[in-house]
Structure 1
Amino acid sequence: MIFHTSLLALGSLIATVHGALIESRATGGYVQNPGPGTASFTMYSGCSQPACGVAASGFTAAISQLAFGSSPGLGAGDACGRCFQLTGKSDPFSPSFTGPFKSVVVKVTDMCPVAGNQEWCGQTATTQANQHGMPVHFDICQDTGGAGVFFPGGHGALTGTFSEVSCSQWSGSDGSPLWLGACIDGENAPLWPSTGCGNQGSSPSTSGVSRITQSEIRSRTWSVGTAR
């Protein structure tokens, strides 16, 4: 199951210092590459209060914490608002499946934290690949239609490729900020290594990953497209 960080209340707590926390893209030990590169993909629902603080009507996704650029409760990371072209290539659970596979362009609005998601989003500063050997993971929002377009019927987890692209290639509209300090400045920034929202805190490590409380988990709805 994929757990997300839609932390409206905690986001508002750090809003007054958000501007002071924005540093250069590479701070905190995060790994943020524009690609092209390899990635894994799943789907989730309950995307209305994403960690970046701005929901959207177009195809959106959460990205693994090591690439997101923040920790649960610290607000937006530098991935917020950036757009990526995702292309499916294979199903790690059905290696004989040959497609058809599709490509979509998504905007990152949410984080997939390490805690609770080690299989897909467990990349850390010391182990920079998840359990499927992928350095980046995208959890595609079902609510805005992206997952339905991207995933073949009966297949809820894929591996493939990603590449950061200009958000002029993304179709959709942004919602209103959910709290003071929300940020999706990556949508107007040049591709990485440029800085958009900036990073917050430090990257997750195997010895000390950020945790989500059980009450936070119970207060939100999570899903993965196909049970395995």
Structure 2
Amino acid sequence: MSGNGTNPERRGLFITIEGGDGTGKSTQAKLIEEWLAERGRTVVRTREPGGTEVGVEIREIVLHHRGDIAARAEALLYAADRAHHIETFVRPALERGEVVLQDRYLDSSVAYQGAGRVLDPVEIRNLSLWAAQGLLPDLTILLDLDEITARARLDTSRTRYDRLEAEKSDFHARVRAAYLGLAEAEPERFLVVDASRPVDEIAADIRTRLEPYV
């Protein structure tokens, strides 16, 4: 881990936000960024895939390529993005003592490529850890929402879906179950939040968990 909540001015803090599509990750990331900035922390927001110039090209392939991509090839593309992103962007920011607030990380790969694509989740996690040289977040915020409600939210905000958003409900149900399993296995790293509640209530829960770090 990059830090443990002590001497936050001198050590970076790595926070990831996870959850299915339509759970409100972008909204909560903005609120977290503002709250941390008010407390004097330097915050950099990023995402996977797409947090670097190389990542933008990979994102275009994995989310918008027309036609099939083999499941293992998709997993390797995400791992390639992760390896470059962590080495060139995330680790340098953490070494400067900044807060890295990231939309999706290795848990997304385990949930989407492992459970969603029905690949071995242990192999996917090991691949991701290898790509990231073992870096785990200090805190992972999981916004949990059933797939039917999440899809209804997407329907009000999208004119078209990307490759993963367009998957059927059973795919997204597997993704959600995988996320909850990951959180149960690592309760010290995860904060699971009911994303069906009002935005301000969700934000309050997140701030309570973040308080020791700031």
User: TM class, shorter-chain normalised?
Assistant: under 0.3
Higher relative contact order (CA 8 A, sep 6+): 1
Bigger Rg over Cα: 2
Name the structure with the higher strand share. 1
Q: Structure 1 or 2: larger helix share?
A: 2
